[in-house]
Structure 1
Amino acid sequence: MDGTLIDSEPIWIAQQFVLAEKHGGTWSQEQGLALVGADMQDTAVAMQTAGVDMEAAVLVATLERAVIDSLRQSVPWRPGARELLTELRLEGIACAIATTSSNEMASLVAAAAPEGAITVVVGSEDVTRTKPSPEPYLRAAELLGVRASDCVAIEDSANGLASAIASGATSIAVPNDAVLPERGDFVVWPTLAGRTVADLRALVR
């Protein structure tokens, strides 16, 4: 979701700066980028190490609330994301969000998507292990009523790709802010702009 469907990573990093400044820590763009695709607990530990004097649960909740408030004002879709979701909906192909962000945040994005396009949401609290574990994708496939091996997963982070590949899904990397592996069991699309359901079907075949 973050960085793949929506361009929310700049929002996360901006709010990390706000939190660090407010609570006596120091933060950098590089530290923010290093956490793209990371579990929220990893983000809490990194910010605590940088001097943010808050309990992990409170830190995570505060950060997520600030990002959710921003998304309620406007959802910044990535190029081609809404168009591809619209075509998938018209073709009757079910879609899910599997994310390390909260179910609340993912549900907000699902509601902002083309009507009926995203029918399943799996957030961080819906699994026992988040990415890079395959559990989020396996759970999403289960809720969709399909096998993960019959799914296509689109990711923008190393942790996300590791999760998708381990689940058995056909995996696509769409680079954004995160550093991605140079090679692996995935294909790279520079952007979703101009991509169609036919492109997805070709990968599965």
Structure 2
Amino acid sequence: MRSSTAAVQDPARDATGLQAVLWDMDGTLVDTEPYWIQGEMELVAAHGGSWSEEQAEALVGQSLVFSSGILQAAGVQLSSREIIDHLLGHVVQSVRREIPWRPGARELLADLKASGIRCALVTMSEKPLADEIRSQLPEGTFDFLVTGDMVDHGKPHPEPYERALRLLQQQVPAATVDNVVALEDSLPGVTSAQAAGLVTVGIPHFIPLPGDSGRTHWDSLAGRTVADLQSLVHQRSTILKVG
């Protein structure tokens, strides 16, 4: 993929331009949803219950605490912490065998890094899985992580993205909701990012996203560049000026 570095201004000098990108992980950066669903199905079956594709799809993008409650209602006789640890362990082992990267994700990350644009991971998965994924990327790809075990309220609540923005502003004082872009694949994820006020891109993968005039929809990250993200920030700036 061509680099858009030459077309993007130094973010430190252009406070009105793109300052950072906040990435969802499961379904946006990596296609781990099948790993989670397999773990859920095996866990429910081991406790004598049944688990459908529809039930599994309803948990896509939700916090692990929320998901554990649904699994308990489906017959899993374990504590919330035990369920989370079991599923997390299953997915960590799965990604150690193979990480299913989403098309275009690593290329866009490389383009952002080359352009000096900060990136952070904002995921409802917990730190052991996020660390496993991050370890397979070039050092410094993500400046920091916000994981599900760092927040009181998971997606679709805005807290994960609000926390990420506060952490980002410690490094990039010019970062605001108008020049930071969130990349998400699920309805809980885009809801969280939009509720935090961020420029939001939905890249539906496992579950279709409903249309919403308040966010941008891309079919894929394949072929996307920093210039594409920069244009979204400029569009927000234009709308604010007109308003």
Paired AA for residue 132 in structure 1: P
Report if the CA contact (8 A) 1:20-1:47 is conserved: yes
Encode CA deviations 1:39-79: one digit per residue, 9 max, x unaligned: 11221121111112212211111111111111122211100
**Mapped pair 1:22 → 2:51:** no
* Partner residue, 1:45: 69
* Partner residue, 2:225: 196
Report if the CA contact (8 A) 1:82-1:114 is conserved: no
* Identity level (%): 43
More deviation, 188-197/160-169: 160-169
State how 1:165-180 maps to structure 2 within 5 Å: 165-180=194-209
Q: Which has the larger radius of gyration?
A: 2
Tell me the C-alpha RMSD between the 2 structures.
1.3
- CA shift, 1:185, in A, is 1.0
Report if the CA contact (8 A) 1:137-1:148 is conserved: no
**Mapped pair 1:158 → 2:158:** no
Paired AA for residue 118 in structure 1: F
Structure 1: any 5+ residue segments left out of the alignment?
A: none
* Partner residue, 2:30: 6
Encode CA deviations 1:165-204: one digit per residue, 9 max, x unaligned: 1112110000111242222410100000000000000000
State how 1:59-138 maps to structure 2 within 5 Å: 59-138=83-162
How many residue pairs match? The answer is 205
Structure 2: any 5+ residue segments left out of the alignment?
A: 1-24, 170-174, 235-243
Which one scores higher on RCO, CA 8 angstroms, separation ≥ 6? 2
Higher helix proportion: 1
Q: Normalised by the size of structure 2, how large is the TM-score?
A: 0.81
* Partner residue, 2:164: 140
Counterpart CA distance in 2 for 1:57 and 1:166 is 28
- CA shift, 1:135, in A, is 1.4
